[in-house]
Amino acid sequence: MGHPGMIEIARRIAAGEMSALEATTEALSRVDAVQGEINAFVDVFHEAASTQARAIDAKRTSGETLGPLAGVPVVVKDNICIGQDRYPGRTTCASKMLEGYRSPYNATAVTKLLDAGAVIVAKANLDEFAMGGSGEHSYFGATKNPWDLARTPGGSSSGSAAAVAAGCVTMALGSDTGGSVRQPAAMCGLVGLKPTYGRVSRYGLVAFASSLDQIGTFTNSVEDAAATLTAISGHDPHDATSAPREVENFVAALEQEVSGQHVARVRPEGGVHPAINDALERAAGVLSGAGVTLDDGQLPHTRYGVAAYYLIAPAEASSNLARYDGVRYGRRAELREGEGLDDLYTRSRSEGFGTEVKRRILLGTHALSSGYNDQYYGKAQRTRRLIKQDFEALFDSGARAVLMPTTPEPAFKLGEKLDDPMAMYQEDAFTVGANLAGLPAISIPTGTVDVDGSNLPVGVQLIGRPFDESGLLALARALEHGLRFIERSPLASRGE
């Protein structure tokens, strides 16, 4: 099969050039072959995925209409619920707290994928409850980068990114709360799309920070990202934050003319790897060559983005995770003689949550505590408003999108920042702004750089106007075509 894109796989299956079962069997074989090296998967659905694929082949044989993604193998991050009607998998959030939990229902995004004909072959590993930027905070162990097994694939959607980068599938769902799709996409040489807040239903996405979370996608191309967004977007009455927007054909929107549009380029203020500055300049040159006008833009309050994010997100997390107490939800500790209900709560949460989750719960609880609420949480929310206004000022001045780095550096080594939470949090410096402002953003790979003998990918991101994914994707497509990044990870190349 080589490495055709998602749309091409669906076309071949619809045309009878290959079967859905063949595509699924190959994906499962790749999963089995690399899992021992990258630890990207929590559950693998050999039997259920094969059954789904056979059903799709039977539909094609009988002349029934197939969905746009019929037979395409995909992976879903394990904080997105999959019910028990077709798949026997768990929804663990990579936490001991939910180690054995099996969801009784599908996330809306999963239902839409299945309705489009996609075949889910596995659930992907992640930082516990999506809290982390390196894939190391998982109860099931760290995920490794297919470009260099000694390095992080990024996080928190570590397994989803590694699955696509290793050539197991051509699309994986992730979630992006502060950059958890775009950061690993940049570190794994992928296209990572975070839609506008409300574009894709959050129903069935286990909540981390409810005002920031958004389901996103990993693909090898902008076209595949557009096709997936078309399949999973749309208003959902199950989600009060779901926007009442018509589903657009984002693939058709890729043909929009980008010449004559304006893009605001925001240069990093310092503290970035030289390769990141080079990537930004290369991307700016490509867009300029496509007829886009590049204007230098300023986001003056972005410097406070990490501080604001790490007050707002933990505050919401401390509220959302309060339900996991060993009684209503989650793993229950065994009561010892003489212990009461408070002891049950304490030990269930102490034993069930990992270090990073506990750290963020404590941060959030402190930020919301009496006497500190306005000083910390309230001030962070006011800063959030200023960051949103900075983006609005650029858009009001005529910019269709903002061009800036995705990460401060290429993939760093596993363990390098594990004992330094502040250094780990700074990896989100360029990504949290889009979440705080609720904007769509996409990371595009620009090339590779040699870092201590490792050939590692780097990327840049485009951040668009609210609900202007069509314009954002058209600009991303022009950038992708000009950059011509086609290099594959060593692990993916080994399987061809």
Residue matched to tokens 């998998």: 89
pLDDT of residue 2: 43
Nearest CA-CA partner of 456 in 423, 487, 418: 487
Residue 415 Rama label (left phi>0; alpha psi -120 to 50; beta) = left
* Separation between Cα atoms, residue 32 and residue 35, nearest integer Å: 6
Whether the pLDDT of residue 52 is over 70: the answer is yes
pLDDT tens column, 330-365 = 899 888 888 888 998 999 999 999 999 999 999 999
For the beta carbon of residue 309, count every other beta carbon within 10 angstroms.
Answer: 27
More confident residue, 336 or 128: 128
Output the CA torsion 388→394→397→401 (10° steps): -110
**496: pLDDT strictly greater than 80:** no
Averaged pLDDT, 393-413: 98
CATH topology (fold) of 6-258: Amidase signature (AS) enzymes (3.90.1300)
Cβ 401 vs Cβ 475: under 8 Å: yes
Which tens digit of pLDDT belongs to each residue from 319-332?
999 999 988 888 99
The CA distance from 147 to 126, in Å, is: 18
Order the strands of the 41-44 sheet from edge to edge: 41-44, 119-124, 73-77, 171-175, 215-219, 191-194, 441-451, 454-464, 399-405, 262-265, 293-296
How many C-beta neighbours within 10 Å does residue 123 have? 26
Q: CA 156 to CA 361: how far, in whole Å?
A: 17
Q: Is the pLDDT of residue 77 over 80?
A: yes
Write a three-state SS string for 264-314: EECCCCCCCCHHHHHHHHHHHHHHHHCCCEEEECCCCCHHHHHHHHHHHHH
Judged by DSSP in three states, 122 sits in strand
263 beta partners: 294, 401
- Beta-carbon neighbour count of residue 69 at 10 Å? 29
CA 118 to chain centroid: 18
Find, among 279, 490, 488, the residue nearest to 403 by Cα: 279
Please state the domain extents for the chain. 6-258, 303-379
- 386: which 2 tokens? 């200023």
Scan for tokens 């050999």, then name that residue.
46
In terms of pTM, does the model score above 0.75?
A: yes
* Better-scored residue on pLDDT, 85 or 315: 315
How confident is the model at residue 191, as a pLDDT? 98
List, as own/partner pairs, every contact residues 56-63 make where C-beta atoms lie below 8 angstroms and the sequence separation is at least 24, other chains included.
56/13, 56/20, 56/117, 56/119, 57/19, 57/20, 57/21, 60/13, 60/14, 60/16, 60/20
Question: What is the predicted pLDDT for the residue at 269?
Answer: 83
Structural contact between residues 122 and 41, judged by C-beta atoms closer than 8 angstroms: yes
Average per-residue pLDDT for the chain = 96
pLDDT for position 328: 83
What span, in angstroms and rounded, lies between the C-alpha atoms of 58 and 412? 46
Q: How confident is the model at residue 88 (pLDDT cuts 50, 70, 90)?
A: confident
Window from 150-164, 195-209, 367-381 with minimum mean pLDDT:
367-381
Nearest-5° Cα angle at 303, 297 to 307? 145
List pLDDT tens digits, range 425-450.
Answer: 999 999 999 999 999 999 999 999 99
Q: Does residue 270 have a pLDDT over 80?
A: no
Q: Is the pLDDT confidence value at 1 over 50?
A: no
Catalytic residue ranges: 77, 156, 180
Measure the CA–CA gap between 296 and 408, rounded to whole angstroms. 19
Structure confidence at residue 376 (pLDDT): 94
Cα 48 to Cα 28, 45, 52, 105, 485, distances in angstroms: 11, 5, 6, 16, 35
DSSP letters spanning 366-382? HHHSTTTIIIIIIHHHH
